[in-house]
């Protein structure tokens, strides 16, 4: 089963489908023709053009004025890849590296980058055979694209660096021998085509977006379980009040929660309280604002991953090679900062619901155990959630507001989008844990209610109980939290419910 790389736009559902079904990639004839035509144009141009063309027959960055002799152009490109492979820190998760490959293949297949067909085909070979270069999280300013991470992504093309082959790490040389491949001899412009670009930021952005949509859905489900466990009221989810403040996310959240509560006996039983705390009755407004943010961020990233982001850009029909700044990560940096803040709010309001559930209110036992005192019950999971929420706030300090000059002043404003990208993933991981703790608390609290919740929520909690049994007396809750995280991670949700 193949996904054909052509001019069709990639969207989140397509990427979800490609990655979840392990589709292989294949170049469509349209893309093959564009790649060949652009490369032929550049080769012909280099035969007749003696003037400097940035990055093709010159040095890079502040060395842009140094012209390189034609006999050294291959070495120029290989030197570029080697010298820029300066990544440090942790290794980028392999699933994100695979997304980097997909997005780089897409970007250089539009026919404006001047790459050889063999270069693109080798990247596709890497993708299809789960050969994933070792890339590091630190080193990109998100300005001339993601130079250091993309250099590590490109190293195996020239026989250098390390790769994972189906999860096992090898020196690239050994991998090439295993597959009977020779290294790619990079031609003029190819090093820049591979290193300029925003595929590190973009891959992190798409990865976190897919996770964020899932967390947004689960925050609604888990928040509704908490509402039921807290004996909450249904009136705040009445469509009438949302139609007079019709933010799309707010409307969607209220509608979704109302649907989750269909045929619940618990939500309709008589209430002794007139109002619920904000963390329950304002779920449409808070969760909904996150949904609207995801919509904005999605628009930004879908534009980006269907764009050409290297430099210079080659326009065959117009007979033009133009050096510009499509590699600058500012749109992504701002979107990633915004995404982190929006997802963090799902964790913040979740922790408040956790606190309400253990407070001994509305007929629930203190700390959700029948023998509090002898048992501490769910006292400390709330501590853990509070600690994580506080750390998440620190991760949400915007990266975009910072800029450090580089390349001897030539690259004098940078986006810091790569730092925003890695922080956004940390926020996703943290909020996943907080929601897992809320699910642990909410499902436990629900067990103290005599009336039944809705069939949908009953089924959801029953599935959760197979992984995490009720807590009758104190035990090591670390294990329950990890099992709750795994339940969330492996829960399969239909794309139609996510996007």
Residues involved in catalysis: 54
| 74, 186 contact by CB (below 8 A) | yes
C-alpha of 201 from chain center: 9
Rounded distance, CA 214 to CA 206, Å? Answer: 13
For residue 126 the two structure tokens come to 């890497």
Rounded distance, CA 351 to CA 344, Å? Answer: 11
| 87, 139 contact by CB (below 8 A) | yes
For residue 216 the two structure tokens come to 């947004």
Measuring CA to CA, which residue among 74, 69, 72, 35 is closest to residue 50?
69
**Cβ neighbours of 239 (radius 10 Å):** 11
Rounded distance, CA 211 to CA 18, Å? Answer: 15
Rounded distance, CA 485 to CA 476, Å? Answer: 15
Measuring CA to CA, which residue among 114, 215, 132, 269 is closest to residue 429?
215
**Cβ neighbours of 64 (radius 10 Å):** 15
């Amino acid at each position: 089963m193949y996904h054909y790389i052509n001019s069709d736009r990639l969207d989140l559902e397509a990427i979800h489908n490609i990655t979840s079904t392990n589709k292989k990639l294949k170049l469509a004839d349209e893309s093959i023709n564009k790649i060949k035509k652009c490369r032929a144009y550049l080769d012909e141009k280099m035969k007749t053009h003696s003037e400097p063309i940035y990055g093709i027959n010159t040095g890079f960055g502040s060395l842009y004025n140094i012209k390189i002799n034609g006999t050294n152009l291959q070495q120029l490109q290989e030197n570029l890849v080697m010298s820029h492979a300066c990544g440090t820190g942790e290794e980028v998760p392999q699933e994100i590296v695979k997304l980097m490959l997909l997005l780089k293949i897409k970007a250089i297949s539009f026919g404006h980058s001047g790459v050889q067909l063999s270069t693109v085909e080798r990247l596709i070979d890497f993708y299809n055979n789960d050969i994933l270069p070792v890339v590091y999280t630190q080193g990109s300013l998100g300005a001339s694209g993601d130079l250091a991470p993309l250099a590590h992504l490109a190293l195996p093309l020239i026989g250098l660096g390390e790769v994972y082959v189906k999860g096992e790490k090898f020196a690239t040389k050994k991998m090439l021998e295993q597959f009977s491949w020779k290294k790619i001899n990079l031609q003029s412009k190819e090093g820049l085509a591979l290193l300029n670009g925003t595929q590190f930021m973009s891959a992190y952005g798409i990865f976190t977006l897919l996770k964020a949509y899932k967390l947004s859905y689960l925050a609604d489900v888990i928040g509704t379980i908490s509402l039921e466990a807290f004996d909450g009221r249904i009136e705040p989810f009445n469509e009438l009040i949302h139609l007079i403040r019709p933010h799309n996310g707010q409307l969607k959240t209220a509608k979704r929660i109302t649907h989750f509560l269909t045929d619940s006996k618990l939500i309709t039983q008589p209430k002794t309280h007139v109002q619920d705390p904000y963390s329950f009755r304002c779920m449409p407004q808070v969760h909904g604002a996150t949904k609207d943010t995801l919509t904005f961020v999605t628009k930004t990233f879908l534009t980006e991953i269907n764009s050409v982001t290297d430099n210079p850009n080659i326009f065959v029909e117009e007979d033009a090679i133009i050096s510009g700044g499509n590699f600058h990560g500012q749109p992504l940096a701002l979107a990633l900062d915004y995404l982190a803040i929006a997802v963090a709010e799902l964790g913040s309001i979740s922790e408040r619901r956790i606190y309400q559930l253990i407070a001994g209110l509305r007929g629930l036992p203190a700390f959700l155990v029948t023998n509090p005192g002898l048992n501490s019950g769910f006292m400390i999971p709330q501590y853990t959630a509070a600690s994580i929420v506080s750390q998440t706030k620190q991760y949400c300090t915007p990266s975009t507001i910072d800029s450090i000059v580089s390349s001897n002043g030539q690259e004098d404003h940078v986006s810091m989008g790569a730092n925003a990208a890695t922080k956004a993933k940390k926020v996703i991981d943290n909020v996943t844990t907080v929601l897992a703790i809320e699910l642990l608390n909410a499902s436990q609290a629900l067990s103290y209610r005599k009336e039944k919740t809705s069939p949908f929520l009953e089924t959801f909690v029953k599935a959760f109980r197979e992984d995490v049994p009720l807590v009758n007396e104190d035990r090591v809750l670390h294990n329950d939290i990890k099992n709750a995280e795994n339940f969330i991670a492996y829960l399969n949700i239909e794309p139609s419910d996510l996007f």
